[in-house]
């Protein structure tokens, strides 16, 4: 797995970085969850999904009995965007080689939210029609199952999103024996 150097400055997000936020969980898992970008807590701790979104994700995983340590969790970009804005196309492109190296050889990628779905699937539009559909993306010349779903923060006020995210996690737990 290719990792950015501590001093990576391939895109402008390096300017606001406290820590790089690199993948966590089972780094050899067949399933990878890809979020958007680190937030404040993630930037301070150098770990993905440890703030509010992480708590919601943890709860959804607990609800379906999926152990967080059995999947790998990462983001499209490894540095926090200013004021938690969405990462820009150029920033995701600059960080893409690191993401690709994290995803290479996996059996299933779960895209958590619009940015991850846009970066990996090239889909831009409402999430509802694509959530929990079976798509495929090509990483290093290999077709890998890609399941779009809601970002945990979208679940805060939307019961439907919460249920759909649980459904996604249940699907991968059962299909991949996690
Ligand atoms: S977001 Fe990625 S490409 Fe940009 S500086 Fe951080 S590690 Fe480097």
Q: Establish whether residue 13 lines the binding site of ligand 1, counting it when its CB lies within 6 angstroms of any ligand atom.
A: yes
Q: Establish whether residue 79 lines the binding site of ligand 1, counting it when its CB lies within 6 angstroms of any ligand atom.
A: yes
- Apex CA 158: angle with CA 154 and CA 160, to 5°? 105
CATH node for 12-175? 3.40.470.10
Percent of the chain residues topping a pLDDT of 90: 99
pLDDT of residue 78: 98
CA-nearest residue for atom 4, ligand 1, is 11
pLDDT, tens digit, 9 for 90 and up, residues 6-28? 999 999 999 999 999 999 999 99
Packing angle of the helix pair 159-175, 52-64 (nearest 10 deg): 60
Q: Establish whether residue 37 lines the binding site of ligand 1, counting it when its CB lies within 6 angstroms of any ligand atom.
A: no
Choose one of 91, 99, 119 to mutate for the ligand 1 pocket test, by most ligand atoms within 8 angstroms of C-beta: 91
Q: Establish whether residue 171 lines the binding site of ligand 1, counting it when its CB lies within 6 angstroms of any ligand atom.
A: no
Q: Establish whether residue 10 lines the binding site of ligand 1, counting it when its CB lies within 6 angstroms of any ligand atom.
A: yes
pLDDT, tens digit, 9 for 90 and up, residues 106-154? 999 999 999 999 999 999 999 999 999 999 999 999 999 999 999 999 9
37 CA to centre of ligand 1 in angstroms = 11
């Amino acid at each position: 797995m290719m990792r950015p150097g501590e001093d990576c400055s391939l895109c402008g997000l390096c300017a606001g970085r406290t820590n790089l936020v690199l993948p966590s969980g089972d780094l050899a898992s067949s399933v990878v969850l890809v979020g958007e970008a680190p937030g404040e807590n993630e930037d301070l701790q150098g770990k993905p999904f440890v703030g509010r979104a992480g708590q919601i994700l943890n709860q959804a995983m607990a609800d379906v009995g999926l152990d967080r340590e059995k999947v790998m969790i990462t983001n499209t970009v490894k540095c926090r965007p200013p004021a938690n804005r969405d990462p820009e196309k150029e920033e995701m492109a600059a960080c893409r080689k690191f993401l690709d190296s994290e995803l290479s050889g996996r059996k299933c990628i779960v895209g958590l939210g619009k940015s991850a779905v846009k970066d990996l699937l090239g889909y831009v539009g409402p999430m509802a029609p694509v959530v929990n559909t079976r798509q495929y993306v090509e990483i290093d010349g290999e077709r890998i199952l890609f399941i779009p779903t809601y970002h945990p923060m979208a679940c805060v006020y939307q019961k439907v999103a919460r249920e759909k995210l649980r459904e996604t996690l249940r699907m991968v737990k059962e299909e991949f024996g996690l």
